[in-house]
């Protein structure tokens, strides 16, 4: 007998997480928890990771939709529901995750790859959160001392000149062959200033800039992506674009150099792979990124990421942001995320 429940888990940051949209102290996630009384195995879990103010489905009716799924599964005794989740990307991904976990023959092994077999580590960037100059400087120094070869710096919250000083400091210590630098503006630049700021950034061998201007300004973004001073990666621009034809139109119009795939924000693995297929048609590159999920969601995204091209540095989390995360075999060190054979899952939700 199948019994599905849903439980909220408020993830608490170890330190304040600054973005151009404000400072985060906690982040809610909802877990689908499935028990099958006829299966002698661990529970199956799927995470619905919501980012307040950013997720397309951060709106009225979220809890009702979660419980609608719970009711459907428990009544029909099946995970194959006909409930339309096209407007609820994080819930759709949570359900995708749950199904993959339930039908897996190995506990929490959603994709059986070299990653889960412990012979491949996923290259990832180290994330520098926004904050006061000294706070950001200390984060940068720590990452460099730890041996990370790619750093992503969130910009747009403090004075631009101070941010340039930080970037200048990094480049004075490490050249382009030693350290890859990415910046994420989270839409903080005005369209009228974006190109000039990008030109200044380009003096420091920046790999790319994520979302220089706010989402929804398609024609202005297209202008920026036409021979830009440094490569542009679309991030928030993809959120809420559900229909296949709209996805095709967006990439054909803007022609970015990269797109960033966050399954929790764009509807899961299937939707992400649609974006990848369209991007390839237009010679657009990509990488995968988590979106502050717990280790449940991070595990699902990492295992899927391991099925993609191997020569990419992805933006996956480290699993070390929260005081109350779920203990897992995931381990981040020196720019790589690995699945450790001597570590186990420990659920405290």
Are the C-beta atoms of 1 and 36 separated by less than 8 Å?
Answer: yes
What's the confidence (pLDDT) of residue 86?
A: 95
pLDDT band, very low/low/confident/very high, at 20 (cuts 50, 70, 90):
low
Mean pLDDT over each residue of the chain, to the nearest integer: 93
What's the confidence (pLDDT) of residue 197?
A: 97
Smallest Cα–Cα separation from 52: which of 31, 24, 30, 32?
Answer: 24
Q: Could you tell me if 205 and 325 lie in one domain?
A: yes
Q: Could you tell me if 192 and 87 lie in one domain?
A: no
∠ CA 11-215-91, nearest 5°, is 40
Residue 262 bears catalytic tag: yes
All residues at 6 or more sequence positions from 300 whose CB lies less than 8 Å from its CB, including other chains: 46, 47, 93, 97, 100, 110, 263
What's the confidence (pLDDT) of residue 286?
A: 98
Domain count, the chain: 2
What's the confidence (pLDDT) of residue 9?
A: 95
What CATH number does the domain containing 40 carry? 3.30.390.10
pTM listed for this prediction: 0.94
Residue 143 bears catalytic tag: no
In this predicted structure, the answer to whether residue 21 has a pLDDT above a threshold of 80 is: no
Is residue 110 assigned to a domain? no
What's the confidence (pLDDT) of residue 94?
A: 98
Q: Could you tell me if 95 and 127 lie in one domain?
A: no
∠ CA 262-58-278, nearest 5°, is 35
- Give residue-wise pLDDT tens across range 162-218: 899 889 988 988 899 989 999 999 999 999 999 999 999 999 999 999 999 999 999
Catalytic residue chosen out of the listed positions 121, 154, 197, 247: 154
Over pLDDT 70: what percentage of the chain? Answer: 98
Q: Could you tell me if 187 and 279 lie in one domain?
A: yes
**How many whole angstroms separate alpha carbon 30 and alpha carbon 37?**
22
- Give residue-wise pLDDT tens across range 284-334: 999 999 999 999 999 999 999 999 998 899 999 998 989 999 999 999 999
Domain end (from 42, 73, 103): 103
């Amino acid at each position: 007998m199948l019994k599905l429940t849903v439980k909220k888990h408020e993830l608490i940051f170890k330190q304040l997480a600054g973005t151009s949209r404000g400072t985060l102290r906690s982040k809610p996630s909802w877990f689908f928890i499935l028990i099958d009384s006829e299966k002698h195995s661990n529970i199956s879990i799927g995470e619905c990771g919501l980012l307040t103010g950013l997720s397309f489905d951060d709106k009225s009716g979220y809890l009702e939709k979660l419980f609608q799924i719970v009711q459907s599964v428990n009544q029909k005794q099946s995970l194959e529901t006909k409930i339309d989740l096209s407007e609820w990307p994080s819930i759709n991904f949570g359900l995708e995750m749950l199904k993959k976990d339930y039908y897996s023959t190995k506990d929490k092994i959603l994709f059986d790859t070299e990653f889960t077999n412990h012979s491949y580590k996923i290259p990832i960037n180290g994330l520098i959160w926004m904050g006061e100059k000294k706070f950001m400087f200390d984060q940068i120094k720590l990452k460099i001392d730890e041996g990370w070869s790619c750093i992503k710096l969130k910009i747009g919250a403090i004075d631009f000149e101070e941010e340039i000083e930080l970037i200048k400091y990094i480049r004075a210590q490490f050249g382009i062959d030693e350290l890859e630098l990415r910046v994420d503006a989270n839409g903080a630049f005005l369209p009228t200033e974006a190109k000039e700021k990008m030109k200044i950034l380009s003096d420091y061998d920046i790999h790319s800039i994520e979302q220089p201007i706010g989402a929804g300004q398609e024609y202005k973004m297209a202008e920026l992506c036409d021979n830009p001073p440094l490569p542009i990666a679309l991030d928030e621009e993809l959120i809420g674009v559900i229909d296949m034809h709209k996805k095709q139109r967006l990439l054909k119009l803007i022609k970015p150099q990269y797109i960033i795939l966050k399954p929790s924000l764009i509807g899961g693995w299937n939707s992400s792979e649609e974006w990848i297929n369209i991007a390839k048609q237009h010679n657009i590159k990509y990488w995968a990124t988590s979106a502050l999920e717990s280790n449940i969601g991070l595990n699902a995204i990492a295992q899927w990421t391991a099925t993609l091209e191997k020569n990419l540095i992805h933006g996956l989390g480290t699993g070390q942001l929260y005081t109350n995360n779920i203990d897992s075999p995931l381990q981040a060190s020196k720019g790589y995320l690995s699945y450790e054979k001597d570590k186990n899952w420990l659920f405290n939700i």
